[in-house]
């Protein structure tokens, strides 16, 4: 296998201090329906780092802005403001031509494998395409496509088949092979298993973990399923209404969530032990998330928060370290355990 060699990271040392990806104050405000309507604040000042070889999970309810954030990072969407730096270089304002060499380093895996693959192209063409764009010859690109099919667990003899001839899990393997074609260091995976059956989800998660170990990949893993995120991620960032409300190591966030929203999300995750499941407290949130076109003043979570107090209605809490000596950050005036 001639997969581009990348440093393997020893177990337990998957996080490096220097960020590969740095996102700062990233915003995406879509215009309102009418000229006079306020903008829709889909993403409203998001910031985080992802180190080489690390997996950061980006979680939250549907519509919280996590997928929009992923799409801005790979520049499928142009941010309204803020910056995205890759390997120390600000790439937020590069032209599409300037971005071309960087595209091989940062790739995306999409949610719905079948709709993200061109039904009129063979697997050979789908996987080869990013290489042809980067200037590879057709013969080299096809050779590489065969290698990548083996790498992701597909049968190379099926290279001239079309996407509809594959199951959902196999189609996602094709999508992953395509994303690996140029030897990226960072994959932005947008709900990569949520469209798949549970048993197939586990296979794709296993594959992604193996690839990370073999290729030293970093993942931004966008998902709403906190069980999957717990399994694959090193750190977790929780988004609500376009902002990060809690970010920290998986161990700390899952064992002792500090933001009321994180606590509510985690209280809905089924526990494997039936006795623990019966006895645990479920936190039910009031109502639906507000519209990002009209976010509430103060803490945007206050209309649904069981801990809300007067200050929460007027003053937006900053994302900051909740307890001394801890790297975990929380945007709450009254974080749990502070």
Which residues contribute to the site for ligand SF4 (CB under 6 A)?
Answer: 259-260, 299, 301-302, 305, 307-308, 312, 317, 332-334
Least distance (Å) between residue 148 CB and ligand SF4: 45
Tell me the C-alpha distance between 95 and 207, whole Å. Answer: 34
Nearer to ligand SF4, 7 or 306 (CB): 306
Question: Shortest CA distance to 243 belongs to which of 186, 304, 292?
Answer: 292
- Residue 35 exposed, middle or buried by CB count within 10 Å (0-12, 13-18, 19+): exposed
Instruction: Report the nearest approach of ligand SF4 to the CB of residue 67 (Å).
Output: 23
**Cβ atoms < 10 Å from Cβ of 81:** 11
CA distance 206 to 16: 22
CA angle 75, 110, 251 (to 5 degrees): 95
Q: Minimum Å distance from CB 333 to ligand SF4?
A: 4
> Closest distance between ligand SF4 and the C-beta of residue 331, in Å?
7
User: Edge-to-edge, what's the strand order for the sheet holding 320-321?
Assistant: 106-109, 186-190, 218-223, 55-59, 235-240, 243-249, 329-330, 320-321
DSSP helix/strand/coil, 139: helix
Least distance (Å) between residue 318 CB and ligand SF4: 10
Return the number of the residue (171 or 332) whose C-beta is nearest ligand SF4: 332
Q: Which uninterrupted H or E stretch holds 43?
A: strand 40-51
Q: Which is nearer to ligand SF4, 126 or 312 (CB)?
A: 312
Instruction: Considering the complex, state which of residue 294 and residue 338 has its C-beta at the smaller distance from ligand SF4.
Output: 338
Which residue number, 281 or 310, has a Cβ lying nearer to ligand SF4?
310
**Least distance in angstroms from the C-beta of 336 to ligand SF4:** 9
Output 271 or 338, the one with its CB closest to ligand SF4. 338
Distance from C-alpha of 286 to C-alpha of 96, rounded to nearest angstrom: 44
* Minimum distance of ligand SF4 from residue 217's CB (angstroms): 34
Q: Which is nearer to ligand SF4, 53 or 335 (CB)?
A: 335
Minimum distance from residue 246 beta carbon to ligand SF4 (Å): 10
Nearer to ligand SF4, 218 or 239 (CB): 239
Radius of gyration of the chain (CA): 21
Asked if 259 and 273 touch (Cβ cutoff 8 Å), the reply is no
Q: Locate all alpha helices (DSSP H) within 79-166, ordered by sequence.
A: 96-103, 123-133, 138-151
User: 72 or 305: whose CB is closer to ligand SF4?
Assistant: 305
- For 165-182, give one letter per residue: b (16+ CB within 10 A) or e: ebebbbbbbbbbbbbbbb
| Whether 258 contacts 328, CB under 8 Å | yes
Smallest distance, Å, CB 330 to ligand SF4? Answer: 8
């Amino acid at each position: 296998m001639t997969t581009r060699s990348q440093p393997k990271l020893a177990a337990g040392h998957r996080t490096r201090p220097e960020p590969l990806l740095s996102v700062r104050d990233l915003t995406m405000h879509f215009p309102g329906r009418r000229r006079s309507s306020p903008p829709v604040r889909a993403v409203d000042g998001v910031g985080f780092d992802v180190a080489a070889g690390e997996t950061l999970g980006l979680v939250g309810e549907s519509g919280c802005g996590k997928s929009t954030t992923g799409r801005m990072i790979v520049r499928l969407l142009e941010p309204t403001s803020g910056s995205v730096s890759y390997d120390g270089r600000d790439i937020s304002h590069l032209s599409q031509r300037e971005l071309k060499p960087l595209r091989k380093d940062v790739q995306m895996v999409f949610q719905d494998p079948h709709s993200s693959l061109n039904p009129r192209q063979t697997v050979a063409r789908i996987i080869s395409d990013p290489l042809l764009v980067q200037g590879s010859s057709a013969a080299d690109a096809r050779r590489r496509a065969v290698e990548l099919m083996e790498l992701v667990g597909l049968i190379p003899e099926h290279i001239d088949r079309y996407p509809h001839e594959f199951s959902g899990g196999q189609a996602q393997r094709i999508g992953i092979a395509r994303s690996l074609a140029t030897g990226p260091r960072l994959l932005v995976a947008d709900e990569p298993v949520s469209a798949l059956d549970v048993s197939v989800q586990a296979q794709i998660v296993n594959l992604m973990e193996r690839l990370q170990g073999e290729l030293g990949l970093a993942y931004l893993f966008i998902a709403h399923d906190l069980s999957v995120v717990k399994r694959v991620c090193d750190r977790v960032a929780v988004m609500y209404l376009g902002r990060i409300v809690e970010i920290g190591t998986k161990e700390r966030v899952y064992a002792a969530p500090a933001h009321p929203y994180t606590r509510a999300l985690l209280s809905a995750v089924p526990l494997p032990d039936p006795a623990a499941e019966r006895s645990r407290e479920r936190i039910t949130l009031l109502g639906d998330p507000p519209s990002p076109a009209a976010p509430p003043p103060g803490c945007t979570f206050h209309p649904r928060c069981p801990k809300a107090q007067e200050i929460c209605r007027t003053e937006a809490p900053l994302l900051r370290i909740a307890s001394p000596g801890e790297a975990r950050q929380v945007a709450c005036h009254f974080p749990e355990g502070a």
